[in-house]
Amino acid sequence: QKEVEQDPGPLSVPEGAIVSLNCTYSNSAFQYFMWYRQYSRKGPELLMYTYSSGNKEDGRFTAQVDKSSKYISLFIRDSQPSDSATYLCAMSMHAGGTSYGKLTFGQGTILTVHP
């Protein structure tokens, strides 16, 4: 079993829809949670970063972490064709020691928003 599971999709939605992307994880030591967006043939770019449980909102994007269920989500409101990309969740345990900087990524979900 992988430490981080993410449904690869593909997910196809109409413009304006609310999109929900999810990851589950098995390691309860994960504390830092990130979402990256990756356009085709480009490097990933950091979208959202959260620490521990709770919600964080940034414009049309909301990141949600539920540590009790080991489940994180990214919601995209009023989705646009420019949101079409692969979305990767990532998480890490802590900074410091030999685990410093080590992110564990999900497989990525391919999202297409059609006009």
Q: Does the protein bind another protein through residue 40 (CB under 8 A)?
A: no
Q: Does the protein bind another protein through residue 29 (CB under 8 A)?
A: no
Binding window for another protein (CB under 8 A); candidates: 14-22, 58-66, 74-82, 101-109: 101-109
Buried b (16+ CB within 10 A) or exposed e, 67-106: eeebebbbbbeebeeebbbbbbbbbbbeeeeeeeeeeebb
Binding window for another protein (CB under 8 A); candidates: 14-22, 39-47, 66-74, 77-85: 39-47
* Total residues at interface with another protein (CB under 8 A): 28
Binding mask 51-70 for another protein (x = CB under 8 A): x-------------------
Parallel, antiparallel or unpaired: strands 109-114 and 11-14: parallel
Q: Which of 46, 57, 58, 80 binds another protein (CB under 8 A)?
A: 46
CB 109 within 8 A of CB 7: yes
Structure tokens at 32: 């830092």
